[in-house]
Amino acid sequence: MSFSLAHALTGLFWLGALLLLGGLARRASLWQQGRSASVSWLGLLAMPKRYFVDIHHVVAREPAVARAHVAAAGGGVAILLLSALNYGLMLYQGWLDVLLVLMAAVMLLGARMMQARRLQAPPRLSQGRWQVLPARLRLFALGSLLAAGLLFAGPQLGMAGQLIAVVALLMLALGGAELALGIGLGWPMKHAVAGLLHLAFHPRAERFAGKSSDLKPLNLAAGELGVAKVEDFAWNRLLSFDACVQCGKCEAACPAYAAGQPLNPKKLIQDMVAAQSRGSDPAYAGNPHPGREAAVVVKPGEDIVGSVLAAETLWSCTTCRACVENCPMLIEHVDTVVNLRRHLTLSRGEVPGKGSEALANLRNTDTVGGYPLAVRYHWAIDLDLPVLQPGEQTEWLLLAGEGAFDMRYQRALRALVKVLKAAGVKVAVLGEAERDCGDVARRLGDEAGFQRLAKANIATLAQYRFAHIVTPDPHVFHCLANEYPALGGQFDVWHHSKLLEHLLARRAIPLKADATPLPPLTFHDPCYLGRYNDGFNAPRNVLKGIGIKVVDMQRSGRDARCCGWGGGAAFTDIPGQRRIPDMRMDDIRETGTGRVAVACPNCTAMLEGVVGERADVIELAELVAERLA
Ligand code: SF4
Ligand code: SF4
């Protein structure tokens, strides 16, 4: 009996391996629809570290899921490797059977934990085949355990043993089919193979060496105008979509989805899967884009927008990166949204709402609001703020950004200048030589507009002598610090929260000695300071440094909810059931502080714009200025 069972296992192993390879070849042919991409094969060597360390950081935010996955996946991989040795290579060693029994028990435990979680599945999880996957994994683990146990026990079990052997083989075949057929047919276990390859050939490989949140420039001279069809994506971007496990963490984090706008980032990724697989994968069994039908109609050869995807879905995105931050498979939703937008803007000229007006203003005036550049620093007329001349020198160059045209935000800018002067900081501005940084143009898909503004700003800044740039606008900060380098601009850029933190730490800001304690408040993390640039601590240290206790919102720091402005969403203004800033004001209200500190002109405008009773919105610099001696 043991002899024939061992050979049956060898046959089953090689049949599974052949099916897996055939499926992989079919899937690879789908990825090959995409453009070539420059990838390093060394990524394959880096895969274990990316899997065990980088992904684990994200998955471990849900400890129970992480434990279940480690047991089920770790046990499963060990079973496959041991089976390859013992049955694939026909070693038939008893000690390998013992190890197989142990690993099967571990996998069984992990699959059991997964199944228990599925019984109380949060609504963000997809159903369908995903719902039955833990049961199939249990079958596979139990089949492995029985088969290896029988082989180890030897032939003395007689007829009963033969019966168990048949049952074990059936279980292995049924459970193993999930993996062997999954990659080819687009079943859930597709994620195991695609996920590992995605880690090896990630479109942002630099992400594994540190923060990477900059959008990559298009080569406009070479005719790159964004993504219209599946074939316009790079092949490793198509691969990345197949890594999705439909966990819905992106869905749960997305402010646009919560507001009832027609965007569900999980569905967006599955739309891309459907587009590339030409509808050959099983039907999607998760939540739809709000207000839209769940089913997609895939018409080969057509543009993605208009067939698989509605344009409003793309324009609903605030580019807040909450989805990217939470995705356990490290999928980059924002890159996909912006690449698809680029086609709509650059090729079709279709930008909704006031988005096209904003882009026209940028073309005509170099400001988003259509203001003359000469009035950018009118708010500082009485502040003795030097306007730097070419050839002159300053230590700090202040870029006020587009908030300089907003009367409410001008109060914050005046407070900042007052504080810097009190601290003895040598600061100057560019005056009317300052243009918009290009953030809105880039996020709205106008890559040509962004590159024009960025190159003009880089050329302008080259005429002046300064040591550092400081700005209160996280979008200006992000563009200059992270996106200008690709176009040749290298600057030492600070967000004002960092400079204020630095000055307070050095006791350079003269504060009132006997100030009465200030009431606590909460802090709203700007996406482009926090998630984009890890700027979580500096603003909190500033508040602490001036004696204010911060009561964090439930959604704060890495999990902060966007104010709704980013990505040009304030201009495209896609309707939903609620407004994102209203939801953020609810988050603020829950803290009971009645006051919120902000560190971005756009967050200031969005939260100040909430209609009805709301918390006081106070800029970081204003709070420091209030404490000046
Ligand atoms: S970037 Fe933000 S708004 Fe856009 S899909 Fe992701 S979570 Fe939603
Ligand atoms: S894209 Fe990422 S976070 Fe969203 S469902 Fe897929 S795996 Fe989960």
Using CA positions, which residue lies closest to atom 8 of ligand 1?
A: 254
Ligand 2 nearest atom to the CA of residue 326, by list position = 3
Whole-angstrom distance, CA of residue 499 vs CA of residue 231: 45
Distance from residue 604's CA to the centre of ligand 1 (Å): 20
Phi then psi for residue 141, to 5 deg, are: -65, -45
Report the nearest atom of ligand 2 relative to the CA of 251. 4
Give the model confidence (pLDDT) of 512-559 as tens digits: 987 677 899 999 999 999 999 999 999 999 999 999 999 999 999 999
Whose CA is closest to atom 1 on ligand 1?
319
Q: List the structure tokens of 244.
A: 């999705």
Q: Which ligand approaches the C-alpha of residue 315 most closely? A: 1
Helix H or strand E encompassing 471: strand 465-471
Q: Which atom of ligand 2 is nearest to the CA of 124?
A: 5
- Tell me if 444 sits within 8 A of 358, measured CB to CB: yes
The ligand minimizing its distance to the Cα of 58 is 2
Q: 269 alpha carbon to ligand 2 midpoint, in Å?
A: 8
Cα–Cα distance, 128 to 404 (Å, whole number): 52
Categorize the per-residue pLDDT at 154 as very low, low, confident or very high, splitting at 50, 70 and 90: confident
* Mean pLDDT for the stretch of residues 88-103: 97
Q: Where are the beta strands (DSSP E) in 472-566?
A: 493-495, 522-523
pLDDT of residue 1: 46
Cβ atoms of 51 and 196 closer than 8 Å: yes
pLDDT of residue 462: 95
What per-residue confidence (pLDDT) applies to 53? 87
Please give the number of the atom of ligand 1 that sits closest to the Cα of 324: 6
CA of 286, closest atom in ligand 2:
5
Give the CA distances from residue 398 to residues 57, 448, 493, 609, in Å, rounded to whole numbers and listed in that order.
37, 26, 10, 26
Does residue 540's CB lie within 6 angstroms of at least one atom of ligand 1?
no
What is the model's pLDDT at position 2? 44
How much is the mean pLDDT over the chain?
A: 95
pLDDT reported for residue 298: 63
Distance 119 CA to ligand 2 centre (A): 20
Q: Please report the pLDDT score of residue 281 as a whole number.
A: 82
**pLDDT value, residue 307:** 87
Residue with tokens 């949060």: 122
Question: How much is the pLDDT for 391?
Answer: 83
For ligand 2, residues with CB inside 6 Å are 244-250, 265-266, 269, 326-329, 331
Is pTM beyond 0.85? Reply is yes
Q: How confident is the model at residue 8 (pLDDT cuts 50, 70, 90)?
A: very high
Mean pLDDT value of segment 201-226: 94
8 Å CB contact between 111 and 151: no
Candidate of 245, 323, 324, 336 to mutate for ligand 2, largest count of ligand atoms within 8 Å of Cβ: 245
pLDDT category of residue 294 using cuts at 50, 70 and 90: low
Å from CA of 249 to ligand 2 middle: 6
Nearest CA to ligand 1 atom 7: 254
Residues 430, 437: Cα–Cα separation, whole Å: 13
Instruction: Identify which ligand lies nearest to the alpha carbon of 322.
Output: 1
Worst-scoring range by mean pLDDT, 15-29, 289-303, 493-507, 569-583? 289-303
pLDDT, tens only, 378-388: 999 999 999 99
Ligand 1 within 6 A of 318 CB? yes
How far is ligand 2, taken at its centre, from the CA of residue 329, in Å? Answer: 7
Answer whether 228's CB lies under 8 Å from 343's CB. Answer: yes
To test the ligand 2 pocket, which listed residue (257, 266, 323, 330) has its Cβ within 8 A of the most ligand atoms? Answer: 266
Distance CA 320, CA 301 (A): 31
323 Cβ below 6 A of ligand 1? yes
Tell me how far apart the alpha carbons of residues 509 and 502 are, in angstroms, rounded to a whole number: 10
Give, using CA atoms, the residue closest to atom 4 of ligand 1. 317
Domain-wise residue ranges, the chain: 5-190, 218-292+301-348, 360-626
Q: Is the CB of residue 333 below 6 angstroms from any atom belonging to ligand 1?
A: yes
Which ligand approaches the C-alpha of residue 256 most closely?
1
Mutation probe of ligand 1 site: the residue of 317, 527, 528 with most atoms within 8 A of C-beta = 317
Distance 261 CA to ligand 2 centre (A): 18
Angle at which helices 2-31 and 190-200 pack, to 10 degrees?
A: 60
Query: Which pLDDT tens digit goes with each residue over 377-425?
Result: 999 999 999 999 988 899 999 999 999 999 999 999 999 999 999 999 9
CATH code for the structural domain at 218-292+301-348: 1.10.1060
Q: How much is the average pLDDT of 254-278?
A: 95
Q: Express as a percent the part of the chain with pLDDT over 70.
A: 98
- Nearest atom, ligand 1, residue 253 CA: 7
For ligand 1, atom 6, which residue shows the shortest CA distance?
A: 323
Residue 395: enclosing H or E segment and its boundaries?
A: strand 393-398
Asked whether 144 and 172 are in contact (CB, 8 A), the reply is: yes
Q: Give the whole-angstrom CA distance, residue 179 versus residue 52.
A: 21
CB 347 within 8 A of CB 228: yes
Identify the CA nearest to 602 among candidates 454, 438, 408: 408
472-521 per-position pLDDT tens digit:
999 999 999 999 999 999 999 999 999 999 999 999 999 998 767 789 99
**Ligand 1 atom nearest 268 alpha carbon:** 5
In ligand 1, which atom is closest to the CA atom of 318?
3
CA–centroid distance, residue 476 to ligand 2 (Å): 29
Copy the structure tokens of residue 354. 């006031």
Asked if residue 150 has pLDDT above 50, the reply is yes
Please give the DSSP secondary-structure letter assigned to residue 343: I
